[in-house]
Chains A and B, each alone.
Chain A
Amino acid sequence: EPEVTQTPSHQVTQMGQEVILRCVPISNHLYFYWYRQILGQKVEFLVSFYNNEISEKSEIFDDQFSVERPDGSNFTLKIRSTKLEDSAMYFCASSFPGQGSYEQYFGPGTRLTVT
């Protein structure tokens, strides 16, 4: 069964550094997403990407964040100048909208620890 994959599974970085989180969505999916979950809190939407551009973004997704689809398979989230409060699980998801259904399938996540 096809699945979303993410690398790395765990990333430790120092405050102020830049990190790139990588995702390979399910191959025939058209929508790509990033969510984050701070420990003990709910899953929060960051950004969605469709047709090579951002479709929607949340208030969290400020100038510190950017997304890119550098080739036909990868989808990346870049976080510049990381802060302690960026420590969270970051989940990538993808979907193939059809017949009005927007089921999203999630990758296993990248645990980001900012020290």
Chain B
Amino acid sequence: RKEVEQDPGPFNVPEGATVAFNCTYSNSASQSFFWYRQDCRKEPKLLMSVYSSGNEDGRFTAQLNRASQYISLLIRDSKLSDSATYLCVAGTASKLTFGTGTRLQVTL
């Protein structure tokens, strides 16, 4: 079983749409959870941390369910600039484990 598993996509959505990404992790010792964004051939950029209480940052909402080891990301009112690969990440202080990423393409 992959340590962090997510649907590779691609998700093709029109501008203004709401899109949801999900991921599962297998290591119950994971302490921190994140969504990173990666543009083609660039470094991962931290999008947001994920907490059990939920975390919202503008159009982005992330949620963690520790019992089912499930992480989600919701993007509302998609913009063309949201087109990227979204990386689900679980980690500890000394190591991050990345999923393979979900590709999002927002179109006119």
Please give the residue numbers on chain A whose beta carbons come within 8 Å of chain B beta carbons, in ascending order: 31, 33, 35, 41-45, 48, 50, 55-56, 58, 89, 91, 93, 95, 97, 100-109
* Interface bits B8-45 vs A (CB < 8 Å: 1, else 0): 00000000000000000000000110100010011111
Q: Could you tell me the distance between the alpha carbons of A50 and B45 in the complex, rounded to whole angstroms?
A: 22
A102 CB to nearest chain B CB (Å): 5
Cβ–Cβ contact A31 & B93, under 8 A: yes
Inside 8 A of B99's CB, which chain A residues have their CB? 42
Q: Would you give the 0/1 interface string for B40-79, flagging 1 where the beta carbon is closer than 8 Å to chain A?
A: 0111111001000000000000000000000000000000
Task: Give B contacts to A, CB under 8 Å.
Answer: 31-32, 34, 38, 41-46, 49, 87, 91-101
Q: How far is the CB of B44 from chain A (nearest CB, A)?
A: 5
For chain A, what secondary structure do more than half of its interface residues adopt (helix, strand, loop), or is it mixed? Answer: strand
Among B32, B94, B96, B98, the residue within 8 A (CB) of A101 is B32
Q: A102 touching B32 by the CB < 8 A rule? A: yes
Least distance between A29 CB and chain B CB atoms (Å):
12
User: 5 closest Cβ contacts across the A-B interface?
Assistant: A56-B94, A106-B43, A48-B94, A43-B98, A55-B94
Q: Are A102 and B92 in contact (CB under 8 A)?
A: yes
A42-B101, A100-B32 as given contacts; A106 in contact with B44, CB under 8 Å: yes
B49 touches A101 (CB 8 A): yes
Contact B44 A91 (CB under 8 A): yes
Name 19 extra pairs, CB < 8 A, besides A42-B87, A100-B32: A31-B94, A41-B100, A42-B99, A43-B38, A44-B98, A45-B95, A50-B93, A58-B95, A91-B43, A91-B44, A101-B32, A101-B49, A102-B31, A102-B91, A102-B92, A102-B96, A104-B91, A105-B46, A108-B43
